[in-house]
Structure formats: C-alpha cells, structure tokens
Amino acid sequence: MIYTLTLNPSVDYVVFADDIKLGELNRSQKTFKFAGGKGINVSRVLQAHGIPSTALGFIGGFPGALIQQKLEESEIATDFVAIQDDTRINIKLKGGNETEINAPGPVISQAETAQLFKQIEQLTAEDTLVIAGSIPSSMQADIYEDIARLCKCQFVVDAEKDLLLSVLKYHPVFIKPNKTELEEMFDCQLHTDDDIKAAARELIQQGAQNVMVSLGGEGALFVSESLVYKAQVPSGRVVNTVGSGDSTVAGMLAGRERGLSLSDSFKLAVASGTATAFTEDLATDEQIQQILPNVQLTII
C-alpha cells in the first residue's frame, strides 16, 4: 500500500481575478477550495491514476473537516491524527501571474506527534511512504529525520532544503526537488542541464537512490547513478500550476505500481505535472493521457 504523509495539510483557496492590484479592492471571477498539501495532492492524483493510497497527517478544525470530506467524496482512504488546532488555509492568487501565500500551520502537541509515530511504526517493507511538504512551525525541525529513521518501508520525499537533506542517508527511492529548491540547497545558480545533473548526483552521493528535478514549463530531469533522462513538455495554456510538482510525484509512483519501465514512469510523471498545470484543479486521468504522447524524452 502507498501511504502519503502530509504533516502540514492545507485548504487551498484558489482565487481567479483578471487583474489583481495590491492595496486596492479586487473582485474575483471564481474561487475554489481544494484539499491541499503535498502528500494529499499525491493521494488525489494517484487516485486519478486508479492507484489507491492512504493519506496520513494532522488535521483539525473546520479546514480539516473540509479536507476529510473532500477526500471521502473522492473515495481516498485517510487515517489522519485529529489535532486541537485548525489546519491552515493557503491562498493562491491567479491574476495574470501566480502568487501564493502559504500559512505556517497549526500547533501540534507531543501527544499528537506520538500518535503519528505509532502509525509510522506499523508500516511494513511492503509499503511505500511519501513524505511531502513543509512542517508546521510548531514542530521540531528534525521530524522528517525521526520519521525516516522509524519507518521500515521504502519512502519518497518532496520537501525543501534541510528537511530533504536530513533524510538522504536513509536512502529514499526518489526525491523531487524543483530547480529553485536545488539551487537553495547548494546556494548557487544552476544554469545548464549539466549543472542540474551535477547537483542531483551530489544528492545521490549523499544517499538518494534517484532524483527527479522538476523544471516547471521546461519539463524535468530524472537522474540516477547511471543515467539521465530529460523530458520536454508540450506548450499549452497554463491555468493553475498549484499541485504540478505533487502530480509529478504521483505519476512516477503510479508508473512504478503498474510495473512500467523507468522511462515510461518518468513520462507519466511529467504528463501528470503538465496536465495539472493546464487545469483548474489537479489533473484527471483523461487529461494526463491526452498529454502523455506529447512528452518528449531524451537521454542526455
């Protein structure tokens, strides 16, 4: 079974407005409230691929109840730890360009954390755990490392800087930084594919089995110890890129679950990310299948 762990879920409040002017009254044309947070998005896109998963993490208050309800409606299994504080609401402004405001998240008590640890301990070598996203600011910074040390299953990680770096020694199956996150990790600009490849290989040296670097509209690179694939994506109308990276993670896992080759899994990953970028919510299977034949893969 695949489990996704979102320590800091969110209701994503997506606001479409033609021309947002800061410091003035703006009126939006449409708004959406999506169940969000990185692991939850992975579960949602896995479900679109027909792959079941169980979403773990902390939820509380009315935003938490909304997330629970939306996942139930999508028939996604959940085993969240109920917390006292409210789950956060993240704001996604879509008006010409894309602006995001991600909230710090709720207070998580020690007892709530202990409940989560018990769940993690029960995962077996047959399971895969996706650990993804930020941690609520009340949590200690080494929580990712504690979880990676505790779990007996294979795991995948999508998180920023120190959270990601702290778990490499436990050999995640793959990690998915975007280019900016990779640059932040190495504190330098990565100009060429060779620069990105070298940075990804350094993360492999530190313990990652594979590194998938997403490059937004430029596609993605898949880097293992012995090969590098570059994927180029078709152009299209970008509607809402929130969840594109999470969709990429889900697509890669879906390919792996279906027993596809590495290259076909990577193609599915990139098609999933791009299909999400071209739609209001996360992509459906139909939208992903439409994009798939137009993803170009080369070995570089």
Ligand X SMILES: O=P(O)(O)OC[C@H]1O[C@](O)(COP(=O)(O)O)[C@@H](O)[C@@H]1O
Q: Could you list the active site residues?
A: 246
Closer Cβ to ligand ADP, 5 or 270, answer by number: 270
219 near ligand ADP, judged by CB under 6 A: yes
Report what 38 binds from ligand X, ligand ADP, none; CB cut-off 5-8 Å by kind: ligand X
DSSP 218: G
If one asks whether residue 245 binds ligand ADP (CB under 6 A), the answer comes out as yes
Which residues inside 276-295 make contact with ligand X, applying CB under 6 A? none
273 binds, among ligand X, ligand ADP, none (CB under 5 to 8 A by kind): ligand ADP
Q: Does 270 bind ligand ADP (CB under 6 A)?
A: yes
- The two tokens of residue 64 are 């938490």
Q: Is residue 106 part of the contact set for ligand X (CB under 6 A)?
A: no
Q: What is the DSSP letter of 234?
A: -
Q: What is the size of the binding site for ligand X (CB under 6 A)?
A: 16
Nearest position to ligand X, beta carbon: 36
Rg of the Cα atoms in the chain: 18
Give the chain's count of helices (H) and strands (E). Answer: 10, 14
Answer for which of 14, 38, 164, 182 binds ligand X (CB under 6 A) is 38
Q: How many residues bind ligand ADP (CB under 6 A)?
A: 17
Among 4, 10, 53, 128, binds ligand X (CB under 6 A): 10
Alpha helices in 36-168 (DSSP H): 38-48, 61-73, 110-121, 143-150, 161-165
Residue 8's binding partner among ligand X, ligand ADP, none (Cβ under 5 to 8 angstroms by kind) is ligand X
CB 294, CB 277: distance < 8 Å: no
**Dist CA 247 CA 281 (whole Å):** 11
Interaction between residue 251 and ligand ADP (CB under 6 A): no
Interface region with ligand ADP, contact rule CB under 6 A, candidates 23-31, 85-93, 107-115, 216-224: 216-224
Under the binding rule (CB under 6 A), the answer on residue 240 touching ligand X is: no
The residue within the footprint of ligand X, chosen from 14, 242, 268, 288 (CB under 6 A), is 242
- Backbone φ and ψ for 77, nearest 5 degrees, come out as -70, 140
The two three-digit tokens of residue 32, written as one number? 């959406």
8 makes contact with ligand X (CB under 6 A): yes
Q: Which amino acid is at 298?
A: T
Task: Please give the span between the terminal C-alpha atoms of the chain, in angstroms, as a whole number.
Answer: 33
Cβ(282)–Cβ(248) under 8 Å?
A: no
**To the nearest whole angstrom, how small is the minimum distance from the Cβ of residue 241 to ligand X?**
6
Report 23-42 residues binding ligand ADP (CB under 6 A).
Answer: none
Does residue 254 interact with ligand ADP by CB under 6 A? no
Site membership for ligand ADP, residue 277 (CB under 6 A) = yes
Verify binding: residue 96, ligand ADP, rule CB under 6 A: no
Residue 131 — φ and ψ, nearest 5°? -105, 120
Near ligand ADP in 145-184, by CB under 6 A:
178
**Contact between residue 164 and residue 177 where contact means Cβ atoms under 8 Å apart:** yes
Closest to 27 in 3D by CA, of 40, 12, 38, 16: 16
d(CA 288, CA 290): 5
For binding to ligand X (CB under 6 A), which residues are involved?
A: 8, 10, 12, 36-38, 41, 90, 102, 133-134, 242-246
